[in-house]
Protein backbone atom coordinates (compact mmCIF):
# COMPACT_ATOMS: atom_id res chain seq x y z
CA UNK A 1 0.00 0.00 0.00
CA UNK A 2 1.36 3.45 -0.89
CA UNK A 3 2.18 6.16 1.62
CA UNK A 4 -0.71 8.34 0.52
CA UNK A 5 -3.10 5.49 1.39
CA UNK A 6 -1.66 5.18 4.87
CA UNK A 7 -1.63 8.93 5.41
CA UNK A 8 -5.23 9.39 4.34
CA UNK A 9 -6.77 7.13 6.98
CA UNK A 10 -7.11 10.31 9.04
CA UNK A 11 -9.23 12.99 7.33
CA UNK A 12 -7.49 16.30 6.64
CA UNK A 13 -8.94 19.77 6.63
CA UNK A 14 -9.60 21.23 3.18
CA UNK A 15 -8.15 24.64 2.47
CA UNK A 16 -10.28 27.17 0.67
CA UNK A 17 -9.50 27.39 -3.08
CA UNK A 18 -7.30 24.30 -2.94
CA UNK A 19 -8.11 23.76 -6.62
CA UNK A 20 -6.03 26.84 -7.54
CA UNK A 21 -2.87 24.75 -7.18
CA UNK A 22 -4.15 21.84 -9.25
CA UNK A 23 -1.69 20.33 -11.69
CA UNK A 24 -4.59 19.40 -13.97
CA UNK A 25 -5.77 22.97 -14.66
CA UNK A 26 -6.07 23.17 -18.43
CA UNK A 27 -5.69 19.41 -18.89
CA UNK A 28 -8.49 17.58 -20.73
CA UNK A 29 -10.90 16.43 -17.97
CA UNK A 30 -11.69 13.27 -19.95
CA UNK A 31 -8.22 12.06 -19.03
CA UNK A 32 -9.39 11.75 -15.42
CA UNK A 33 -12.59 9.93 -16.33
CA UNK A 34 -11.35 7.07 -18.51
CA UNK A 35 -13.72 4.51 -19.97
CA UNK A 36 -14.11 1.36 -17.91
CA UNK A 37 -11.00 -0.76 -18.33
CA UNK A 38 -9.00 2.05 -19.98
CA UNK A 39 -5.61 3.07 -18.64
CA UNK A 40 -5.43 5.52 -15.73
CA UNK A 41 -1.67 5.86 -16.07
CA UNK A 42 -1.61 9.27 -17.76
CA UNK A 43 -4.02 10.83 -15.28
CA UNK A 44 -2.09 9.41 -12.34
CA UNK A 45 1.09 10.77 -13.86
CA UNK A 46 -0.42 14.30 -13.80
CA UNK A 47 -1.53 13.79 -10.20
CA UNK A 48 1.87 12.53 -9.11
CA UNK A 49 3.38 16.00 -9.36
CA UNK A 50 0.36 17.85 -7.98
CA UNK A 51 0.89 19.91 -4.85
CA UNK A 52 -2.77 19.64 -3.82
CA UNK A 53 -2.99 15.90 -4.27
CA UNK A 54 -4.01 15.18 -0.69
CA UNK A 55 -6.59 17.97 -0.73
CA UNK A 56 -8.03 16.64 -3.97
CA UNK A 57 -8.26 13.14 -2.57
CA UNK A 58 -9.86 14.41 0.62
CA UNK A 59 -12.42 16.35 -1.40
CA UNK A 60 -13.32 13.20 -3.32
CA UNK A 61 -13.57 11.16 -0.12
CA UNK A 62 -15.72 13.75 1.65
CA UNK A 63 -18.01 14.11 -1.33
CA UNK A 64 -18.29 10.42 -2.12
CA UNK A 65 -17.00 10.88 -5.66
CA UNK A 66 -17.71 7.55 -7.33
CA UNK A 67 -16.05 8.15 -10.67
CA UNK A 68 -12.71 9.25 -12.01
CA UNK A 69 -9.19 9.77 -10.74
CA UNK A 70 -8.94 12.10 -7.76
CA UNK A 71 -5.75 12.69 -5.85
CA UNK A 72 -4.08 10.15 -8.07
CA UNK A 73 -6.37 7.34 -6.94
CA UNK A 74 -9.04 5.36 -8.76
CA UNK A 75 -12.48 4.77 -7.31
CA UNK A 76 -11.43 1.30 -6.17
CA UNK A 77 -8.41 2.73 -4.36
CA UNK A 78 -10.59 5.41 -2.73
CA UNK A 79 -13.07 2.75 -1.58
CA UNK A 80 -10.22 1.08 0.25
CA UNK A 81 -9.49 4.30 2.17
CA UNK A 82 -13.18 4.77 2.98
CA UNK A 83 -13.26 1.23 4.37
CA UNK A 84 -10.14 1.91 6.45
CA UNK A 85 -11.69 5.09 7.81
CA UNK A 86 -14.90 3.27 8.67
CA UNK A 87 -12.90 0.56 10.45
CA UNK A 88 -10.88 3.15 12.35
CA UNK A 89 -14.08 4.94 13.41
CA UNK A 90 -15.60 1.65 14.58
CA UNK A 91 -12.50 0.78 16.59
CA UNK A 92 -12.64 4.18 18.34
CA UNK A 93 -16.31 3.65 19.20
CA UNK A 94 -15.54 0.13 20.41
CA UNK A 95 -12.49 1.18 22.47
Annotated binding site for [4Fe-4S] cluster: 24, 47, 50, 56
Q: Burial letters for 40-76: b for 16+ Cβ neighbours within 10 Å, e otherwise?
A: beebbebbeebebbbbbbbbbbeeebeebbbbbbbee
Of 94, 95, 5, 2, nearest to 58 by C-alpha is 5
Stretch 60-79 residues interacting with ligand SF4 (CB under 6 A): 70-72
Backbone angles phi, psi at 10, to 5 degrees: -90, 125
Does 52 participate in binding ligand SF4 (rule CB under 6 A)?
A: yes
Q: Which is nearer to ligand SF4, 26 or 94 (CB)?
A: 26
Does 58 participate in binding ligand SF4 (rule CB under 6 A)?
A: no
Q: Which is nearer to ligand SF4, 45 or 89 (CB)?
A: 45
Least gap, CB of 47 to ligand SF4 (angstroms) = 3
Residues that bind ligand SF4 (CB under 6 A): 22-24, 32, 46-47, 50, 52-53, 56, 70-72
Amino acid sequence: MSKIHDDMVQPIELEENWQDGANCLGVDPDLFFPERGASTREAKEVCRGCIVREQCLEFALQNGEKFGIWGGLSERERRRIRRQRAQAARSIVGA
